[in-house]
Amino acid sequence: MRVSEAINSRRSMRVFKPDPVSKADIEWIISNANRAASNGNLQPWKLYVTMGPARQRLSAAILKAMDENDLGPGAEYDIYPREFKPVYDQRRKLVGKQLYTLLGVPRGDSAGMLRQFRKNYEFFDAPVGMILCVERGMGNGQWIDCGIFLDQLMLLAREKGLHTCPQAAFSRFQHVVRRELKIPDDQIVICGLALGHADPDAVPNNLVTERAPITDFTTWFSE
């Protein structure tokens, strides 16, 4: 698979098959993603991989916390801007409308939206659930490094015929994730990553998000 093919076929999948993923394939993906560029070669990423009963325990613990309104301190970073500029707000609302229309969840159906949101914490039934962290003392540049590493995990998964879904939602229950996976206090939970065989027939997996033309964000200088 060419890099461009991996990029253009990568989508956030929200329905996975129960088919297992071999540990050898997961190790191959991680080992190659570890070649990601990082400022000063710090390689700041910390990765926790859950499978089988361990993944199920993590999911069950978070859902239990939701049911008991044990929200904890929430995410340790701003997942979204504190104030949206119109262009970004429009993009966010459009993808939300597209997704929930495919799911058959009408606007205002808070119960339906909550049911879908809870599936995040089951990694959308993917057999592999990863948690990406970074040490608390790292700078903003190392968060960029972790983003590069995350992207390479997703693209390398495509080479193996697998799909993923990056999930910032896990940062909201970082207190549960930290407890269940024994993550040290000096690490920040950035996000989760569902990995597995996507169900091509599942309606939510048909969502292909729009992308802005490069003229919207590129400025050229030649002289």
Task: Dump pLDDT digits (tens) for 77-102.
Answer: 999 999 999 999 999 999 999 999 99
Burial classification of residue 55, based on how many CB atoms lie within 10 Å of its CB (0-12 exposed, 13-18 middle, 19 or more buried): buried
The C-alpha atoms of residue 86 and residue 73 are separated, in whole angstroms, by 29
What token pair was written down for 125?
């039934």
The C-alpha atoms of residue 84 and residue 43 are separated, in whole angstroms, by 32
Instruction: Give the 3-state secondary structure of residue 2.
Output: coil
Question: Alpha-carbon torsion 32, 189, 60, 102, what sign?
Answer: negative
Q: How far is Cα of residue 45 from the mean position of the Cα atoms in its chain?
A: 15
Instruction: Give the 3-state secondary structure of residue 191.
Output: strand
Decide if 131 contacts 177 (C-beta within 8 A): yes
pLDDT for the residue numbered 107: 87
Mean pLDDT by 10 residues, the chain (223 residues): 95 96 98 98 98 98 97 96 95 93 90 94 98 97 98 98 98 98 98 97 92 96 94
- CB neighbour list of residue 7: distance below 8 Å, 6 or more residues apart: 155
Helix pair angle (140-159, 23-33), 10° resolution: 140
Decide if 111 contacts 4 (C-beta within 8 A): no
Domains with residue ranges and CATH for the chain: 3-77+121-206 (3.40.109.10)
